[in-house]
């Protein structure tokens, strides 16, 4: 797995007007290719009278899945420059749909490439990006008497607390960078006088 990846901070729409054509770039995070395709379908339903709804998406922390569509624009003038902008900005788990309402002035191949790629770049600037780091999932188990204070200390030291469950004992789900696991074991033993125990699980990504 990649140590970290960057994606769009939130879903949103950015609009530009170029030679009387309206270009609306809808951007959204997408965890899977299916999510990306559903987003494309939703935008198309929202703009049934648009001249074109072109799209590009990049899925996977290593950008292993990349797809693009010109949706009727001349080949290589819409989806490809959109995809190139996403990969140039090194964002993934992201989908972009650019909706065009033709304004009566032809842009030519070069103009279309600049317009479609440019509006995606503008949308990324407007919505911002966030970095997600790879974490090892871990579960800390501790008695009720120490649980509240331990949870507060975990948060105060910047640990990613994912969930807290109360049963016979309290279990606290956290995320740990791989390099910090041994330091965390020592810290936990000191913080709880050896009363807490930690079990390691699988891996996931979380906000850096």
Summarize pLDDT for 52-74 with one digit per residue, the tens.
999 999 999 999 999 999 999 99
- Region 176-205: mean pLDDT is 91
* H-run or E-run covering 59: strand 52-59
- Region 5-34: mean pLDDT is 96
Distance CA 130, CA 90 (A): 11
Report which of 194, 151, 191, 192 is spatially closest to residue 170, judged by C-alpha positions: 151
Q: Is the pTM of this model over 0.85?
A: no
Kindly tell me if the per-residue pLDDT of 177 is higher than 90.
no
Record: fold of 132-207: Alpha-Beta Plaits (3.30.70)
Kindly tell me if the per-residue pLDDT of 86 is higher than 80.
yes
pLDDT tens digit string along 147-159? 999 999 999 988 8
pLDDT at 204: 83
Kindly tell me if the per-residue pLDDT of 208 is higher than 70.
no
Kindly tell me if the per-residue pLDDT of 1 is higher than 70.
no
Report which of 198, 175, 178 is spatially closest to residue 186, judged by C-alpha positions: 198
List helix spans (H) across the chain: 33-46, 79-88, 108-127, 144-156, 181-191
pLDDT at 196: 94
Check if 4-127 and 132-207 are the same fold.
no
Report which of 134, 106, 116 is spatially closest to residue 205, judged by C-alpha positions: 134
Where residue 17 falls among pLDDT bands split at 50, 70, 90? very high
Where residue 44 falls among pLDDT bands split at 50, 70, 90? very high
pLDDT at 203: 82
Q: Which residues contact 116 (CB under 8 A, 6 or more apart)?
A: 23, 54, 73, 77, 78, 79, 81, 82, 98
- Region 30-39: mean pLDDT is 96
The tally of CA atoms less than 13 A away on the side-chain side of residue 206 is 15
Domain map of the chain by residue range? 4-127, 132-207
Distance CA 42, CA 24 (A): 14
pLDDT at 37: 97
Distance CA 184, CA 182 (A): 5
pLDDT at 20: 92
CA end-to-end distance (rounded Å), the chain: 16
What CATH architecture applies to the domain 4-127? 2-Layer Sandwich (3.30)
Kindly tell me if the per-residue pLDDT of 121 is higher than 90.
yes
Report which of 12, 7, 1 is spatially closest to residue 207, judged by C-alpha positions: 7
């Amino acid at each position: 797995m990649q140590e970290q990846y960057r994606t769009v901070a939130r879903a949103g729409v950015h609009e530009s007007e170029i030679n009387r054509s309206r270009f609306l770039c809808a951007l959204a995070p997408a965890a899977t290719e299916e999510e990306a395709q559903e987003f494309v379908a939703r935008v198309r339903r929202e703009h049934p009278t648009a001249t074109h709804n072109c799209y590009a998406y990049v899925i996977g922390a290593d950008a292993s899945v990349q797809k693009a569509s010109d949706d009727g624009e001349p080949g290589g003038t819409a989806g490809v420059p959109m995809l190139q902008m996403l990969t140039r900005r090194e964002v993934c788990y992201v989908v972009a749909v650019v909706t065009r309402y033709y304004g009566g002035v032809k842009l030519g191949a070069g103009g279309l490439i600049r317009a479609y790629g440019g509006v995606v770049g503008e949308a990324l600037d407007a919505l911002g990006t966030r970095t997600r780091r790879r974490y090892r999932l871990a579960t800390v188990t501790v008695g009720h008497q120490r649980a509240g204070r331990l949870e507060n200390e975990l948060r105060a030291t910047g640990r990613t607390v994912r969930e807290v469950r109360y049963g016979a004992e309290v279990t606290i789900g956290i995320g740990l960078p791989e390099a910090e696991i041994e330091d965390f074991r020592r810290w936990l033993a000191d913080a709880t006088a050896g009363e807490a125990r930690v079990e390691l699980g699988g891996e996931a990504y979380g906000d850096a």
